[in-house]
């Protein structure tokens, strides 16, 4: 095979890669958007809508993998990792607030590091739900969610490998630790305020 023939064959393969990449990018954008919308519905307690979107994320992520898998370098691209991380986050948040079993990486069809980073993001996202529970006076529920955040963090920090391997898991853990500390402080303050209000009410009744 001469150079012209080689280059022509490579050009054809490059074109196929380009088309797969464009399709994959579109799928990843859809996946990211569906995951974000699902999380918004969870915070609004619109769980039926959230569950429908979670089912959509599973379908779209599989389609993205099917498009990119034949082209090895594209399959391991950062945009697929980022989109699937958002999917993991959405599924984990839904499971945590419902006290369901958290789906594993095999359940979602994602890689280990994508899954671990997604779990870190999910634990951070749960702060918002915990704050909503505090505002509603459901402190026991808020405390339970905080406990789940802490449990996730305690396991994540044991994956002490290089950032190039974990895709920045250490940074995710550092951010999560700060979120946990703020949430614990908020819960302590809210409990103290409730106790003070109860004492004042009891004193007023005695008078």
* pLDDT of 207 over the 70 cut: no
Using CA atoms, how far apart are residues 24 and 207, in angstroms rounded to an integer? 70
Quickly state the pLDDT bin for 73 (edges 50, 70, 90).
confident
Average predicted confidence (pLDDT) for the chain: 93
User: Over the stretch 162-205, which tens digit does the pLDDT of each residue have?
Assistant: 998 999 999 999 999 999 999 999 999 998 888 777 677 767 77
Within 13 Å and on the Cβ side, how many CA atoms surround 51?
7
User: Over the stretch 145-155, which tens digit does the pLDDT of each residue have?
Assistant: 999 999 999 99
Domain architecture of the chain: domains with CATH: 1-104 (1.20.58.2140), 111-207 (1.20.58.2140)
Using CA atoms, how far apart are residues 127 and 185, in angstroms rounded to an integer? 12
Using CA atoms, how far apart are residues 156 and 133, in angstroms rounded to an integer? 25
Mean pLDDT within 35-48: 97
* Residue with more model confidence, 193 or 48: 48
pTM of the model: 0.91
* pLDDT of 74 over the 70 cut: yes
* pLDDT of 76 over the 70 cut: yes
């Amino acid at each position: 095979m001469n150079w012209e023939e080689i280059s022509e064959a490579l050009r054809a393969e490059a074109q196929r890669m380009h088309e797969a990449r464009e399709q994959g990018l579109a799928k990843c954008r859809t996946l990211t958007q569906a995951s974000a919308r699902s999380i918004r519905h969870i915070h609004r307690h619109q769980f039926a809508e959230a569950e429908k979107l979670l089912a959509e994320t599973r379908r779209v992520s599989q389609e993205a993998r099917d498009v990119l898998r034949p082209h090895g370098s594209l399959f391991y691209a950062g945009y697929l990792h980022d989109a699937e991380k958002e999917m993991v986050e959405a599924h984990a948040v839904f499971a945590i607030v419902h006290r369901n079993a958290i789906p594993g990486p095999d359940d979602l069809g994602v890689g280990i590091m994508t899954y671990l980073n997604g779990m870190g993001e999910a634990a951070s996202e749960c702060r918002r739900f915990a704050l909503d529970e505090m505002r509603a006076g459901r402190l026991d529920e808020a405390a339970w969610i905080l406990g789940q955040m802490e449990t996730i963090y305690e396991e994540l920090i044991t994956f002490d490998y290089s950032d190039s391997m974990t895709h920045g898991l250490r940074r995710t853990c550092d951010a999560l630790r700060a979120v946990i500390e703020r949430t614990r402080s908020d819960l302590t303050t809210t409990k103290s305020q409730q106790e003070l209000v109860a004492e004042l009410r009891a004193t007023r009744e005695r008078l």
